[in-house]
RNA sequence: GGCGCUAUGGUGUAGUUGGUUAACACGCUGCCCUCUCAAGGCAGAGAUCGCGGGUUCGAGCCCCGCUAGCGCUGCCA
């Protein structure tokens, strides 16, 4: 039987990084086993579901490079079928009508209310089968319903027995029926509830393996009960450990903000491959990852079998993936909201930088193009006449960049004459030595005569000039860096000269802008 | 409260059927390289493997107890 898995997010917000990882693992498993991965939008909670959220989920998946097979299923479309199924369960004696009036609950306090009630009930020894309508005669039940009395439909959980299943990650699971309430299948307003809808849809979509967050582990027993009531065979289950915030707390939008949203990483200049790689390593690792990351991603000279580092291409992830290697303990996503340098997990940041400086230029190019275009720095020539120059420049600057944003921010001066000077750089490299105001234009004149204009020749010219003026070359070098790029840090200055070119270099060295607000 | 799950340095992880000084990556510190900053190289700090018992010649790996964290416990998903 072909493996069929599904990713089933509820569209009640952006795509959470935990959900993104669930999607990734489902995708990896499907591709590894030559099966199919389906997408189902669980929008049964009409109040909270939004189309915008659905769009953002689709965008997120696309960004991560996770495609899906077959048509998207919208769970709400199946609501009528789910309702009928619940009603049939009543006919079959597997469920019953509960005429208890609906209890209204304020959304903000539900959680605490539920815990409080559970605590009380367990203290006085709760009987999960105590609902007075459970044993109402079918005739009376039907009569009251026919008279228009509203009712919810509850599953009639057998009095004696246990559910059991073997989770691919967590192993054997068992639960006594006595611990499971007669769960509601259908609300009194006719809306089918999560557990029912999931089971019905998974059956209809012929899902063979359900891979989802560990928060569903204990609820799986309820779903198994529904499968049994329906006379259907449950799929295999694999639950994933959760991703927690520092301190082991739940990672939530309200407390942690945009850090949990996948789009944040896209917008912050992450390469999808890098973030995907990072996500894959949260709660999973290939056998014996004990080798240092191999030097170059996508380096064909490194035999595939020896690539067991942490840096893996999509193909490698697929090849190495297995449910058995998934951990059982929750992972902590490390970040420090008060530290801009560590706004997100260190390792994610490192991995992105690693990808940016090591993937083949051709793979990186489209992302840089998009970034420069967004910053209005892109020129079509970069793909035609100036293609070589563009590649040389990118190769030079990407070595020390961490995100795609750096290409339009720190790297702005390479693509535009309109760039800002870092005040700290001005102070440190220029204003400290007023004589630079004379030296730099003089240096510019020397450079004008250099032929050809390359890193080597510009270096020779600069060093000769330094000797004659009796200044340290380093002083001129650092000053030039600031004049040419606006910054105090960057690639080797002579490489920068070559890439910026004679004309622009000379102009920038002669420019007075950097001295504009210099008082001394 | 009940039930379930988990527990290796700050974080992510490796630790094969129990066997010598607990491994890798990120981060951190120092040095080298050097025109700056990265990268890279070298060196280093950081873990009594949650705690307490037990089995064993020997336990991070097995057993028991405890603790902590997380999850579920809804006419939310």
Phi, psi of A296 (to 5 degrees): -120, 120
**Distance measured from the CA of protein residue A261 to the C1' of nucleotide B31, in angstroms:** 41
CA distance A42 to A106: 22
Residue A405 has pLDDT above 60, yes or no: yes
3-state secondary structure A308-375: CCCCCCHHHHHHHCCHHHECCCCEECCCCCCCHHHCCCHHHHHHHHHHHHHCCHHHHHHHHHHHHHHC
Chain B bases closer than 7 angstroms to a protein Cβ: 1-8, 10-15, 23-27, 35-39, 69-77
Across chain A, mean pLDDT equals 91
Q: What is the pLDDT of residues A283-316, one digit of tens each?
A: 999 875 544 333 333 333 333 334 457 899 999 9
**Gap from A503 CA to B5 C1', Å:** 66
Instruction: Give A342-368 pLDDT, tens digit per residue.
Output: 999 999 999 999 999 999 999 999 999
The answer to whether strand B lies under 7 Å from the CB of residue A178 is no
Whole-Å CA distances, A344 to A99, A255, A351, A352: 50, 15, 12, 12
Residues 260-319 of chain A sitting with CB below 7 angstroms of strand B: 281-285, 287-293, 310
- pLDDT tens digits, one per residue of A46-86: 788 899 999 999 999 999 999 999 999 999 999 999 999 99
pLDDT of residue A287: 73
Q: Name the band, by pLDDT with cuts 50, 70 and 90, for residue A7.
A: very high
Stronger pLDDT, A277 or A114, i.e. the higher one: A277
Length of chain A: 520
Q: Are strands A95-98 and A73-74 parallel, antiparallel or unpaired?
A: unpaired
Angle (nearest 5°) at CA A99 between A95 and A105: 105
A117 touches strand B (CB under 7 A): yes
Q: Give me the pLDDT at residue A119, please.
A: 83
Distance between the alpha carbon (CA) of A256 and the C1' atom of B13, Å: 25
Which regions of A49-94 does DSSP assign to beta strands (E)? 73-74
Give pLDDT, residue A247: 84
Q: Which residue has the tokens 């080797």?
A: A492
- Looking at residue A289, what is its pLDDT? 53
pLDDT of residue A42: 95
Whether A17 and A261 have beta carbons less than 8 Å apart is answered as yes
pLDDT top residue among A63 and A517 = A63
Distance of CA A274 to the CA centre of its chain: 10
The neighbouring-strand residues paired with A55 are none
Confidence (pLDDT) at A308:
54
Write down the pLDDT at residue A520. 55
CA distance A197 to A183: 13
CB A335 within 8 Å of CB A251: no
pLDDT over 70 at A102, yes or no: yes
Question: Which residue has its C-alpha nearest to nucleotide B11's C1'?
Answer: A334
């Amino acid at each position: 039987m072909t493996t069929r898995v599904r990713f089933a997010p509820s569209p009640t917000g952006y795509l959470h990084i935990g959900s993104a990882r669930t999607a990734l693992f489902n995708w990896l498993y499907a591709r590894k086993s030559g099966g199919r991965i389906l997408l189902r939008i669980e929008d049964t909670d009409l109040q909270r579901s939004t189309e915008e959220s659905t769009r953002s989920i689709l965008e997120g998946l696309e960004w991560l490079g996770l495609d899906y097979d077959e048509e998207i299923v919208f769970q709400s479309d199946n609501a009528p079928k789910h309702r009928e199924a619940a009603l049939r369960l009543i006919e079959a004696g597997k469920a019953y009508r509960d005429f208890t009036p609906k209890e209204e609950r304020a959304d903000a306090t539900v959680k605490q209310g539920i815990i409080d009630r559970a605590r009380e009930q367990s203290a006085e020894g709760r009987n999960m089968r105590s609902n007075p309508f459970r044993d109402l005669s079918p005739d009376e039940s039907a009569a009251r319903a026919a008279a228009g009395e509203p009712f919810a439909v509850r599953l009639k959980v057998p009095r004696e027995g246990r559910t059991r299943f073997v989770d691919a990650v967590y192993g054997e699971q068992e639960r006594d029926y006595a611990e499971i309430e007669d769960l509601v299948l259908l609300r009194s307003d006719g809306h089918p509830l999560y557990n029912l809808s999931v089971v019905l849809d998974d059956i209809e979509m012929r899902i063979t393996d359900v891979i989802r967050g560990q928060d569903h582990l204990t609820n799986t027993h309820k779903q198994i009960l529904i499968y049994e009531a329906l006379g259907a065979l449950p799929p295999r289950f694999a639950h994933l450990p959760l991703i927690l915030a520092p301190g082991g707390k739940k990672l939530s939008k309200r407390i942690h903000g945009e850090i949990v949203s996948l789009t944040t990483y896209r917008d912050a200049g992450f390469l999808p491959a890098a973030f995907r790689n990072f996500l894959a390593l949260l709660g999973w690792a290939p056998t014996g990852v004990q080798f240092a990351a191999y030097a170059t991603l996508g380096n064909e000279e490194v035999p595939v079998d020896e690539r067991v580092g942490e840096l893996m291409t999509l193909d490698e992830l697929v090849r190495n993936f297995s449910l058995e290697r998934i951990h059982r303990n929750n992972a902590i996503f490390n970040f420090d909201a008060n530290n801009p340098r560590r706004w997100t997990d260190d390792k994610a940041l490192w991995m992105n930088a690693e990808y940016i400086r090591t993937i083949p230029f051709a793979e990186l190019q489209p992302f840089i193009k998009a970034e420069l275009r967004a910053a209005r720095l892109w020129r079509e020539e970069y793909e035609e006449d100036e293609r070589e120059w563009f590649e040389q420049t990118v190769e030079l600057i990407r070595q020390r960049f961490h995100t795609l944003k750096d290409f339009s921010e720190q790297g702005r001066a390479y693509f535009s004459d309109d760039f800002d000077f870092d005040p700290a750089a001005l102070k440190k490299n220029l204003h400290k030595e007023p004589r630079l105001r004379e030296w730099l234009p003089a240096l510019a004149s020397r450079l004008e005569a250099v032929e050809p204009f390359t890193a080597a020749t510009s270096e020779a010219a600069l060093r000769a000039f330094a000797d004659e003026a009796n200044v340290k070359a380093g002083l001129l070098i650092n000053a030039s860096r600031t004049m040419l790029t606006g910054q105090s840090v960057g690639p080797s200055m002579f490489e920068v000269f070559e890439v910026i070119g004679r004309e622009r270099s000379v102009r920038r060295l002669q420019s007075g802008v950097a001295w504009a607000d210099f008082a001394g």
